[in-house]
Every structure is written in C-alpha cells, then in structure tokens.
A and B are shown apart, each in its own frame.
Chain A
Amino acid sequence: EVQLVQSEAEVKKPGESLKISCQVSGYSFTRYWIAWVRQMPGKGLEWMGIIYPDDSDTRYSPSFQGQVTISVDKSISTAYLQWSSLKASDTAIYYCARGHDTDYWGQGTLVTVSS
C-alpha cells in the first residue's frame, strides 16, 4: 500500500527555521518525483516545487524559488520542505504528493507562524 506520512503540526515564531517531512512507503522512493503543495487558510492549492529523489533534481515554482528548500534523504525514503526564516504568511497546510500525476497525497502538515 502506497503511503505518504507527513510530520506533525508545527507552531513557530516569525524568523525561526523549520523543516517538515514526508516519509513514503509501499513503492520505490527513488522512482517517482515528490511534489510539495501549499494551501493557505481558506484558499486553493498552490504548486511549490518537485524533486526527483534518485538524483535530487529539484524544480521550484517561480513563486517559491528562494523562499523554501526541498530535499530528500534516500536512506529513509523521506522528502523535506524547509524554511530558514519563517514569516506569518507561511501559515498554511503543506502537502506532499507522489509524482507529476500526484496520485497519492500525504495527510498534510499544518504550519502556524505567529508571534
């Protein structure tokens, strides 16, 4: 069974750093791209970027280039999304999903940034 399990909700202050995770199981991690998607409160889905775990080839949406970093650890079949300095506007649910067809999705990680 394909599963993408994301890390728990986080509450952070502006300026803090954060790394959230997406651990996959049930398929070969290195054979499918992993995408990250943002959903701000009450808003629609936004494509952030995508990474190919086998060689860490990463593509970012222009809106998110330089704002976040996507990475993987192949040894534990886990993809990451990280911020070096959070802003209140980063408050959102973040989803990971498998492949360009995004057939399987994680449950989402709620990130709340508030002073």
Chain B
Amino acid sequence: QTVVTQEPSLTVSPGGTVTLTCASSTGAVTSDDFPNWYQQKPGQAPRALIYSTSTKHSWTPARFSGSLLGGQAALTLSGVQPEDEAEYYCLLHLGDAQLVFGGGTKLTVL
C-alpha cells in the first residue's frame, strides 16, 4: 500500500513562515491526487483546511495556503500564530476511492 510521508515535527517562531510537505511512495504528488490538509488540536476532531491542492474552505484563515512543490504537496503558514500549534495531516486520493493520510506533522510555535 502507498505510504504518504510528512515531517514528524517542525518548529516555527511566532510571526514566521513554515512549509509542511507531503510525499507519496509511488512518485510525484500531482493535482490528480487532490491533496487535502487538516489541522488537529489535542482532544479535538480534525478540521479541514485545504482541498484539491490549494482551495481553502470558507473558514480557513488566509495565512494558510496549499501548493505543489518539488513533486510534493505543501502547506505553507505565513505569519504563524500561537494558536496554529497543532498536528497537521495531508490526505491523498489515490484512485477508486482509495485515500491515504500522511503520518502527520507536529507543529510547535516557539
């Protein structure tokens, strides 16, 4: 089965910029994989942030953006806030309703 890999952890300073990535064991991630991104805080359900690579939900703060970068899906946070400290997951659509989550990135704001 396809393995989707994310950085296990990243640290960023308040006000800074950080990019989280999402790679597929089968090769380059493309827009056909419809990358999604989620934020999960302790004790809470995941919250959808980005779908179809770069489209934001109505509730997604403007500082979050999605893209493709060097064959990977990417989530960039610009002007990081303390409340952005959370676990972030990507999700790739691998065809025939088979979807795979990445292992998650723990983002620390310090």
Contacts and interface: CB of A to CB of B under 8 A. Distances in A.
Interface residues of B, number: 25
Contacts of B91: 45, 47, 102
B34 A45 contact: no
Interface residues of A, number: 23
Contacts of A35: 99
Task: Give the dominant DSSP class at A's interface.
Answer: loop
Interface string B10-28: 0000000000000000000
Interface string A70-111: 000000000000000000000000010100111111111000
Contacts of B38: 45, 102
A47 B100 contact: yes
Interface of A: 33, 35, 37, 44-47, 50, 59, 61-63, 95, 97, 100-108
Given A45-B46, A61-B98, A102-B38, 14 more contacts: A33-B97, A44-B101, A44-B103, A44-B104, A45-B38, A45-B91, A50-B99, A61-B100, A62-B1, A95-B46, A100-B93, A103-B57, A105-B48, A106-B45
20 contacts: A37-B46, A37-B101, A44-B89, A44-B101, A45-B40, A45-B46, A45-B89, A45-B101, A47-B101, A50-B97, A61-B98, A62-B98, A95-B45, A95-B46, A97-B46, A100-B99, A101-B34, A101-B48, A101-B51, A106-B45
